[in-house]
């Protein structure tokens, strides 16, 4: 793979042009033995195949032409190819094609499951596995961002595991990836992983695309990935989604955003920390943390506060997690209390977790 030196992502356009010129026309069964379907997402399905001549096992991502634009396919393939040299990003074989009904490309086969499949509902996965996974995904994201690109679909379904303990993981699915600075005017539907600034572009019921043309568009920035990454960390540590969407109408999100505001105000007023203040701060911390977040240590909350800063400009970069990997993120079982009813914000009805348990790919993250 040639090194494309520019960090502004403009060489992706050139790679797309070149690929379009030489895209092979072939029928899948002529060139590959299809063994079975191993995955399916919103946009395509992934087939376990072996190459008919060489016998090489591969994961073939195929997308129906009926629902896929050629430009979108070329962008996904070229961005994936451009980034595939990173050890924590799924590898590519440099094979892209169109058949009568599909566009497709061949990927390295990752034999484990995806991260979503190993999350135990209401429990998550062990903290040590979470940390191993998080460090690798952060490294993949830093690589993507350093190339002037944004992944835009960070979620457990797109993190592939080579083993179930997360010793080796690989980020996949560049179907929504874009160059930094691309403008978005609207989105259809929200996911728990979407940041507040992105969620606010969701078309509401009855709203037309034309209504959004006057609203100010959003520039695609790495901070979108940082947010999603923070949400993924919450999900895999707990087995719950922190909220359904980042809009003021979601009480769980609102509670968290209110906590961020309190913290920020404290920081502005606090200045230099006096001696003995830290213990007092931990006590105060207990009072203020929203119920769903009480199982985390103060240090983990500090990390979440940085990754999930509601204001995109104040959000940290993904690499910030490295400062926290040697610290405990979950309180020890004896330190954890079940959230008491009277500690739940009386102004909200956000008292039940059940709606957001991670157990079904279709709900609420059906994309």
Ligand X SMILES: Nc1ncnc2c1ncn2[C@@H]1O[C@H](COP(=O)(O)OP(=O)(O)O)[C@@H](O)[C@H]1O
Residues that bind ligand X (CB under 6 A): 38-44, 46, 59, 61, 90, 107-110, 114, 157-158, 160, 172-173, 175
Q: Which does 80 bind (CB under 5 to 8 A by kind): Mg ion, ligand X, none?
A: none
User: 173 vs 225, which CB is nearer to ligand X?
Assistant: 173
User: 41 vs 305, which CB is nearer to Mg ion?
Assistant: 41
The single residue of 114, 153, 173, 250 carrying the catalytic annotation is 153
Question: Binding site annotation covers 61?
Answer: yes
Site for Mg ion in 199-228 (CB under 5 A): none
Residue carrying the six token digits 């230099």: 272
Q: Which does 38 bind (CB under 5 to 8 A by kind): ligand X, Mg ion, none?
A: ligand X
Q: Which one of residues 9, 16, 41, 61 is an interface residue with Mg ion (CB under 5 A)?
A: 41
List the one residue out of 171, 4, 155, 31 whose CA is nearest residue 105.
Answer: 31
Is residue 299 reached through a cis peptide bond, with omega within 30 degrees of 0 on the bond before it?
no
To the nearest whole angstrom, how small is the minimum distance from the Cβ of residue 39 to Mg ion?
Answer: 8
Alpha helices (H) in the chain, listed in sequence order: 10-21, 28-31, 70-83, 115-118, 127-146, 196-199, 209-212, 222-238, 251-270, 277-288, 298-307
Q: How big is the site for Mg ion, counted in residues (CB under 5 A)?
A: 3
User: 193 vs 259, which CB is nearer to Mg ion?
Assistant: 193
Distance CA 227, CA 61 (A): 27
Q: Which does 43 bind (CB under 5 to 8 A by kind): Mg ion, ligand X, none?
A: ligand X
Distance CA 158, CA 152 (A): 11
To the nearest whole angstrom, how small is the minimum distance from the Cβ of residue 328 to ligand X?
Answer: 30
User: 16 vs 191, which CB is nearer to Mg ion?
Assistant: 191
To the nearest whole angstrom, how small is the minimum distance from the Cβ of residue 56 to ligand X?
Answer: 13
- Catalytic (active site) residue 13: no
Q: Which does 265 bind (CB under 5 to 8 A by kind): Mg ion, ligand X, none?
A: none
Q: Which residues contact 129 (CB under 8 A, 6 or more apart)?
A: 165, 166
Distance CA 42, CA 177 (A): 15
Distance CA 339, CA 85 (A): 45
Q: Which does 150 bind (CB under 5 to 8 A by kind): Mg ion, ligand X, none?
A: none
Distance CA 204, CA 223 (A): 24
Per-position DSSP letters for 216-248, written without gaps between them? PPEE--HHHHHHHHHHHHHHHHHSB-S-S-SST
User: 111 vs 355, which CB is nearer to ligand X?
Assistant: 111
Q: Which does 156 bind (CB under 5 to 8 A by kind): Mg ion, ligand X, none?
A: none
To the nearest whole angstrom, how small is the minimum distance from the Cβ of residue 58 to ligand X?
Answer: 8
Contact call for residues 243 and 228 (beta carbons, < 8 A): no
Contact call for residues 223 and 141 (beta carbons, < 8 A): no
x-or-dash pattern for Mg ion, window 153-182, by CB under 5 A? -----x--------------x---------
List the one residue out of 196, 181, 197 whose CA is nearest residue 7.
Answer: 181
User: 40 vs 52, which CB is nearer to ligand X?
Assistant: 40
Q: What are phi and psi of 313, to 5 degrees?
A: -65, -25
To the nearest whole angstrom, how small is the minimum distance from the Cβ of residue 295 to Mg ion?
Answer: 28
* Cα angle value 165/172/43 (rounded, 5°): 125
Residues of this chain that bind Mg ion (CB under 5 A): 41, 158, 173
From the annotation, which residues make up the binding site? Answer: 61
From the annotation, which residues make up the binding site for ATP? Answer: 61
- Give catalytic residues, as residue numbers: 153
């Amino acid at each position: 793979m040639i090194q494309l030196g520019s960090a502004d992502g403009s060489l992706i356009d050139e790679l797309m042009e070149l690929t379009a010129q030489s895209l092979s026309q072939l029928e899948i069964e002529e060139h590959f033995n299809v063994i079975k379907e191993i995955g399916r997402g919103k946009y395509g399905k992934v087939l376990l195949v072996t190459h008919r001549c060489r016998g090489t096992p591969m994961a073939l991502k195929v997308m129906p032409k009926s629902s896929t634009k050629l430009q979108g396919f070329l962008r996904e393939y070229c961005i994936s190819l451009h980034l595939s040299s990173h050890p924590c990003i799924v590898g590519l074989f440099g094979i892209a094609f169109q058949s009568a009904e599909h566009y497709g490309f061949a990927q390295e086969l990752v034999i484990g499951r995806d991260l979503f499949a190993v999350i135990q509902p209401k429990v998550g996965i062990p903290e040590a596995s979470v940390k191993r996974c998080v460090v690798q995904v952060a490294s993949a994201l830093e690589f993507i961002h350093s190339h002037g690109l944004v992944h835009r679909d960070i979620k457990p379904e797109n993190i592939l595991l080579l083993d179930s303990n997360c010793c080796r993981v690989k980020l996949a699915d560049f179907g929504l990836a874009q160059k930094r600075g691309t403008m978005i005017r609207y989105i259809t539907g929200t996911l728990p992983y979407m940041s507040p600034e992105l969620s606010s572009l969701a078309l509401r019921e009855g709203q037309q695309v034309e209504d959004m043309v006057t609203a100010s568009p959003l520039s695609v920035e790495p901070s979108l990935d940082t947010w999603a990454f923070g949400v993924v960390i919450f999900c895999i540590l707990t087995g719950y989604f922190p909220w359904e969407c980042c809009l003021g109408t979601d009480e769980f999100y609102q509670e968290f955003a209110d906590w961020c505001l309190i913290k920020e105000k404290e920081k502005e007023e606090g200045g230099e920390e006096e001696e003995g203040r830290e213990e007092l701060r931990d006590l105060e911390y207990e009072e203020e943390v929203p119920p769903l977040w009480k199982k985390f240590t103060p240090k983990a909350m500090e990390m979440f506060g940085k990754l999930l800063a509601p204001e995109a400009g104040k959000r940290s970069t993904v690499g910030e997690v490295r400062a926290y990997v040697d610290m405990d993120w979950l309180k020890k079982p004896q330190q954890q209390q079940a959230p008491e009813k009277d500690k739940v914000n009386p102004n909200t009805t956000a008292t039940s977790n059940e709606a957001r348990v991670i157990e079904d790919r279709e709900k609420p993250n059906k994309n």
